[in-house]
Chain A
């Protein structure tokens, strides 16, 4: 995913924070529409939505990052991202623009014990902003899934 020359990111905002995701991972951007809640799911999984016949889970990114809870409405935006074979949506406040960052200018995330630090791959200075580049691997690892499989539960028991 990392190119030697530069990386293209889509940047977006949650509250007054700027974040970025690799453009290759973003399939489309949609306006918010009501979702169907999923039972037994973590609270940041708001539910599922219909995207042209496919059913996608929709995650509240704000909540996942530990910055509160989104009360989604018409002005919110859903980033549909694809991670390997999985497709899902992230609720964000607004999408900003497409930027290119030099791999070299990406600074590592500080080693703080907050959810945001764990999910961020690095920090990129773009103009006057600090853009947090999300680490999709960590964001979407199966452990963050709505429900552990039966086997995992059994082992834990």
Chain B
């Protein structure tokens, strides 16, 4: 991994830390005092990593922020609502710092917050520490004379794995010419305290050895030893300078004890208890942390697993096909295999599922920013954060959701004065709720604002040329015009909701995920946007149909019924506008062959199959295909990357025989069946 990869990882970690800090601050507001710890650690982590990559302004801000947080967690500062507000704002500023560092932009202007934070910090005893950038290298001072070092460790230096032998070895590596033992202080064995330090050493180095480098060796025990350097003149006064091996040996012999037998490692010194480590009680946060019992896995590994399992599904269906072709009767074993693979696929997909909290956690920040910009007060309620959704859905949900929230606050909610005037509390409420509903995820954004007036929407649509003035449409359809491209209810394009980024893009984004958006509203009371999304993007329960020798896939979700019509059931409004009478209703017939310009298809509906399919906005149609082939789960392959978006096609899959089958986009096919109806200009 190179430094860029690690930095990318770091920014990923920052996301998580910032979210954790947000959560911690909210918990703090609700009275959970211990949460300050989590906030502190989060900011500390951001600071720690940022320093490694040289983001100095970020580090500086984080440091000041961390200082205040430390004071709060050590109870030197009280977490008053005022202070918590400041902490929130600081968290947002840290968020901005991280974003600008990640995007390579100028750091944000943080002078005001910095001074507010430092004011809080300075009202207290100096616990604030100076920031240390990597230490500058010290300049070596060379001398001409040999350098002599005297080292006498104290008792404390022997503790905690401090091992004089190691220091001596390092000195050796640095070029020590000789090491002489001074054992004068060594008592007789009866008086010997194994934990006490009695030995000293004298080490000689060649001329020019850097004294600072030598001192550095003893950095860790600097306070626990005597360390001195000698000039050659002074050296003469110190004895104990053996000049031959014999004398060296004699020194040892003079000692009453065989030095080799002395315990050299403090490990055997029983009386070296670790100092009273101010061990913080290992708070069992496992209960509070849903992350306990979790492992970190690279998302790529999970994706790979999902891909391979997808291939397994295909391979299994190919096998099944071969067996069928070879006339082998189906058996339990095959059924079993099939079921196991389905289970495996579910398990693999569920690994990619993440709680929507991942995106919901950004919402409070967005709301806070909008409160400032619009001057409106907003009460945010969030439920169902633990609802799990496939990671790919989560990634692409952020933008549309953000836009809807901005919309709700900017346009939906009234100003506090307006609200009071109609008897509402001055604070507007936005509710964000996620839940599983029947195999789908439903995310609702509800505001208690002014609601949407379909009359006004209709008028605006006429003004923009989206519908003709005399078009007759239902109230619901009128509301849906909000999603038409080119529509914007804002009198001026507000800075908040963006330039030309309308609800049409939101709808497109959601539809691209295989989901739907709908709106319900009550004038004066509020509006609810509902996003319905599939649980996973990658797999589909499909009905395989044939048309002109090609196989196409229709999502079973959309299929209501299938039939072979009798001639009596077929009616017509004119050329190319066939209808079929089904249970008292007249349903338009849309020929897939015609929509896709497929040749060699069965043209007579009474010899073919009509698939009754329901679409989000275009009601039910009868899709005319040649025959129904099969029903099975298929793995969705996207065409977007290589082919771009194709009308009527939602994706592709690979069949048992290795061939590609296109997956139909029912909505857009239904739309093609409504050419020119009701005066609504066809959406491209």
In the complex, A touching B, CB below 8 Å? yes
A interface list, Cβ under 8 A from B: 34-41, 47-50, 53-57, 85-88, 142, 145-147, 149-151, 153-154, 157
Q: What are the residues of chain B within 8 A of A150 when measuring CB–CB?
A: 485, 508, 645, 683-684
A49 to B597, CA, bound (A): 19
A153 to B311, CA, bound (A): 37
Q: Do A36 and B485 touch across chains, with their CB atoms under 8 A apart?
A: no
Q: Do A153 and B550 touch across chains, with their CB atoms under 8 A apart?
A: no
Q: Do B644 and A55 touch across chains, with their CB atoms under 8 A apart?
A: no
Residue of A nearest to B647 (CB): A40
List 13 A-B pairs, Cβ < 8 Å. Answer: A34-B659, A39-B596, A39-B647, A47-B660, A48-B639, A48-B662, A53-B314, A53-B654, A55-B639, A55-B660, A150-B645, A150-B684, A154-B485
Q: What are the residues of chain B within 8 A of A53 when measuring CB–CB?
A: 307, 310-311, 314, 637, 654
Point out the residue from A50, A87, A147 that lies within 8 Å of B654, measured CB to CB.
Answer: A50
Residue of B nearest to A85 (CB): B641
Point out the residue from A39, A55, A149, A153 that lies within 8 Å of B637, measured CB to CB.
Answer: A55
User: What sequence of 0s and 1s flags, for each residue 647-664 of chain B, a beta carbon within 8 Å of any chain A beta carbon?
Assistant: 111001010001111100
Residue of B nearest to A154 (CB): B684
Point out the residue from A37, A39, A41 that lies within 8 Å of B595, measured CB to CB.
Answer: A39
Q: Do A146 and B644 touch across chains, with their CB atoms under 8 A apart?
A: yes
A122 to B638, CA, bound (A): 35
A54 to B641, CA, bound (A): 10
List CB contacts (< 8 Å) of B297-332 with chain A. Answer: 307, 310-311, 314
Residue of A nearest to B662 (CB): A36
Number of A-B contacts (CB under 8 A): 88
Q: Do A149 and B645 touch across chains, with their CB atoms under 8 A apart?
A: yes
Chain B interface residue number, banded = 20 to 34
Q: What are the residues of chain B within 8 A of A88 when measuring CB–CB?
A: 642
Point out the residue from B485, B508, B649, B661 that lies within 8 Å of A39, measured CB to CB.
Answer: B649
A146 to B508, CA, bound (A): 19
Q: Say how far B186's CB is from chain A's closest CB, in angstroms.
A: 73
Q: Do A37 and B642 touch across chains, with their CB atoms under 8 A apart?
A: no
Q: What are the residues of chain A within 8 A of B649 when measuring CB–CB?
A: 38-39
A37 to B643, CA, bound (A): 12
Q: Do A48 and B643 touch across chains, with their CB atoms under 8 A apart?
A: yes
Residue of B nearest to A142 (CB): B644
Q: What are the residues of chain A within 8 A of B597 when measuring CB–CB?
A: 39-40
Q: Say how far B269's CB is from chain A's closest CB, in angstroms.
A: 64
Point out the residue from B637, B643, B652 that lies within 8 Å of A146, measured CB to CB.
Answer: B643
Q: What are the residues of chain B within 8 A of A41 when measuring CB–CB?
A: 646
A39 to B596, CA, bound (A): 5
Q: What are the residues of chain A within 8 A of B637 when measuring CB–CB?
A: 53-55
Known pairs A50-B660, A146-B644 / 18 extra A-B pairs, C-beta < 8 Å: A36-B550, A36-B662, A39-B595, A39-B597, A39-B646, A39-B662, A47-B660, A48-B639, A53-B310, A55-B642, A57-B643, A87-B642, A142-B644, A145-B644, A147-B644, A147-B647, A149-B644, A149-B645
Q: Do B652 and A48 touch across chains, with their CB atoms under 8 A apart?
A: yes
Among B314, B638, B639, B643, max chain A CB count under 10 A is at: B643
Q: Say how far A66's CB is from chain B's closest CB, in angstroms.
A: 22
Q: What are the residues of chain B within 8 A of A47 when measuring CB–CB?
A: 660
Q: Do B644 and A38 touch across chains, with their CB atoms under 8 A apart?
A: no
Residue of B nearest to A39 (CB): B596
User: What sequence of 0s and 1s flags, for each residue 591-606 of chain B, a beta carbon within 8 Å of any chain A beta carbon?
Assistant: 0000111100000000
Point out the residue from B311, B485, B660, B683 that lies within 8 Å of A48, measured CB to CB.
Answer: B660
Q: Say how far A108's CB is from chain B's closest CB, in angstroms.
A: 31
Residue of B nearest to A157 (CB): B684
Residue of B nearest to A56 (CB): B642
Point out the residue from A35, A39, A50 that lies within 8 Å of B648, measured CB to CB.
Answer: A39
